Structure formats: structure tokens, C-alpha cells
Amino acid sequence: MRLVTYRAEAGPRVGVLAADGVHDAGFDGDMVALIERWPDPVAASAAFAQVAASGPAVAGAELLAPLRPRSLRDFLTFEGHLHNVMRGLGRPIAPEWYEVPAYYKGMPDTVIGPEAVIPWPAYTERLDHELELAAVIGRPGRDITRASAFEHIFGWTIWNDLSARDVQARELPLSMGPAKAKDWDGSNVLGPCLVTADELDGRDLAMTVRVNGETWGSARSSEMHHGFDALIAYASMAQTLHPGEVLGSGTAPGGSGIEQDRWLRPGDVIEMEIEGIGVLRNRVGVKGEG
């Protein structure tokens, strides 16, 4: 099932995305509350199975980010992406990377959704996109084993994790952060929908990013060195994961401009497409505006 959050007169509403458009789910709560109520994706799909057939689609429904995450954890799992970046820097991949699925934590209030204009902070010259697959936690758990990790995934969405690369180059030597290389209003884009895990298996999906209609990179989620089972097991060590938390795959090979020394410009249209989820489309705004 494809679940969405859309703009309504009384505030954001949860809906079901069908072939003819968005149908209101009839649920008085946000997406995280829905996941808390139905943490099992099979149960959630069953609860809303008749929504699309119950009446006409919502006229002119404007999609927002499918959820405001309780947390954002972004990993670095694709060896191909890391190799491309390190080759440009003239450095080898650290051996620890192969052992530890490390992550940084993003800020949920920075999240925007499909078709939103991506703000370009005044303090950066090199804005970059990053194509990622994201898993959304449904069933809570602590010290989750790799064998049971996928039982805790509610669904999947696309994550465009934006970066200010020139700022990142200054922050990384400090062994802290990333900070302002990642944190500004609109620096994380999720969408266009949340596909429940009973309908989609995220282990081997085609991933593509296009800028102004030109393909800049393509990969498959099966290329991850650390799979989502390892990410969930690592993140849940001595810590409970809760419904609505988001875990990102990290950038797919070719999924960012830094790998190719190609950079975004104001007005560029970024389209990120992942098999079974759809297309996350956004336009880059003018530097210093928004």
C-alpha cells in the first residue's frame, strides 16, 4: 500500500495513493500515529484496503513529506559511492568502514516533501544531492537481531539527503558533525510516498537520479555493503527503536554530484526514482532565498 501525507484545509492528512489520485484514509492523526497504531505493515494495509474504493479522490491533493520522522539516522553503506569520493580525494577507504555501519543523526524538522523548492543556503557555493533508500521503523525493538530486523520495517521511501560540500570539507577534519554541511531548513527531502513492507522488499531495487532529465547515476540497493538488517541491528544496540524512525542507506553509487565533479545550479530539477516507490521531484531554489 502507498501511504501519503497531503495538505488539507484543517492541516496535514494521511491518505492512500491509488491510480486515480489520493484518497483520504479517514484517520485522525499523522503518519507516525498511524504507524504506532498499526506497526505491522500487513495489518496497516488491511485496515485501509477499502479506502481507494470508498469514494472519489481528493481534488488537487498536494503531497507533503510522507511523515515527520521521530529521528533520522543516515548510514554510509555503498562501497561504490565511497570509492568514487575517496578516489577524488586521493585517499583509500578506511578499513573500519567494512566493519562498522556508522551513521550520523539528522534533524526531523528540516524535512520537506515532493515538489517543494529546495532552499539553497547563502553560506554554501556547492550544493549537492544524495540519492538514498530509506526504511521506516514500524515495530519497536531493542537489541534487534539481523535475522529479525526486517520484521521491524514498516515501509520504504526515497530520501534526498542534501549536502553543502564546501562546508562539509571544512567540518570533517574536526571529527565532529556533520553540522551546517547538513542542517538547514529543507535539507532533507522524503517522498513521494511510504510503501508498506508487505508490498515492497527493499533489498534489491533499482535506484536512479536525474537532473534536468539527464541521468547522473543509477545503482541497485543490493549493492549495499551493510544491508538494512545490519543497520537496524547496529542502531538498536542497547537502544529502543520506535515507530516512525527513519534509517537511510547512504548515497547510492553515482547518486551525488561530488562523485563526478558535477554541481547543482539554481533552477535545476532533481528527480530521484526508486523501483516500486516512484519519483521524488524537486526544484533547486535561488541561493540565499527560502
Write out pLDDT tens, residues 32-81: 999 999 999 999 999 999 998 888 999 999 999 999 999 999 999 999 99
- Flag the least confident range among 53-57, 95-99, 210-214, 269-273: 53-57
Q: Do both 123 and 246 map to the same domain? A: yes
Q: Which domain holds residue 40?
A: 2-64
Over 90: is that where the pLDDT of 175 sits?
no
Task: Give rounded-to-5 percent helix, strand, coil for the chain.
Answer: 20, 35, 45
Torsion sign, CA atoms 236, 180, 165, 273: positive
The x, y and z cell numbers of residue 111, run together, are 524535512
Q: Do both 197 and 245 map to the same domain? A: yes
Q: Do both 80 and 157 map to the same domain? A: yes
What integer pLDDT is reported at residue 10 of this predicted model?
83
Query: Which residues in the chain belong to E strands, given as ranges?
Result: 2-7, 13-18, 21-24, 62-64, 71-75, 103-106, 111-112, 117-120, 127-128, 131-137, 153-161, 163-164, 188-196, 206-211, 214-220, 245-248, 269-274, 278-287
Over 80: is that where the pLDDT of 231 sits?
yes
Band of pLDDT at residue 172, cut at 50, 70 and 90 = confident
Quote the mean pLDDT of the chain.
96
Q: By percentage, how much of the chain surpasses pLDDT 70?
A: 100
Q: Which of 17, 44, 64 is the last residue of a domain?
A: 64
Q: Do both 127 and 208 map to the same domain? A: yes
Q: Which of 64, 94, 117 is the last residue of a domain?
A: 64
Q: By percentage, how much of the chain surpasses pLDDT 90?
A: 92
Q: Do both 97 and 167 map to the same domain? A: yes
The x, y and z cell numbers of residue 245, run together, are 524512525
Q: Do both 16 and 125 map to the same domain? A: no
**CATH number, position 101:** 3.90.850.10
What integer pLDDT is reported at residue 195 of this predicted model?
98
What integer pLDDT is reported at residue 89 of this predicted model?
80
Average pLDDT over residues 220-244: 98
Over 70: is that where the pLDDT of 242 sits?
yes
What integer pLDDT is reported at residue 270 of this predicted model?
98
Q: Do both 103 and 241 map to the same domain? A: yes
Q: What is the tally of structural domains in the chain?
A: 2
The pLDDT tens digits for 86-125 are: 988 888 999 999 999 999 999 999 999 999 999 999 999 9
- Flag the least confident range among 121-125, 218-222, 285-289: 285-289
The pLDDT tens digits for 149-160 are: 999 999 999 999
Over 90: is that where the pLDDT of 9 sits?
no
What integer pLDDT is reported at residue 108 of this predicted model?
97
Q: Do both 138 and 220 map to the same domain? A: yes
Cα separation of 278 and 17, whole Å? 11
Q: Do both 40 and 183 map to the same domain? A: no
Q: Do both 130 and 261 map to the same domain? A: yes
Q: Which of 64, 90, 114 is the last residue of a domain?
A: 64
What integer pLDDT is reported at residue 290 of this predicted model?
65
Quick count: other Cβ atoms within 10 Å of Cβ 210?
Answer: 18
Q: Do both 34 and 116 map to the same domain? A: no
Q: Do both 57 and 76 map to the same domain? A: no
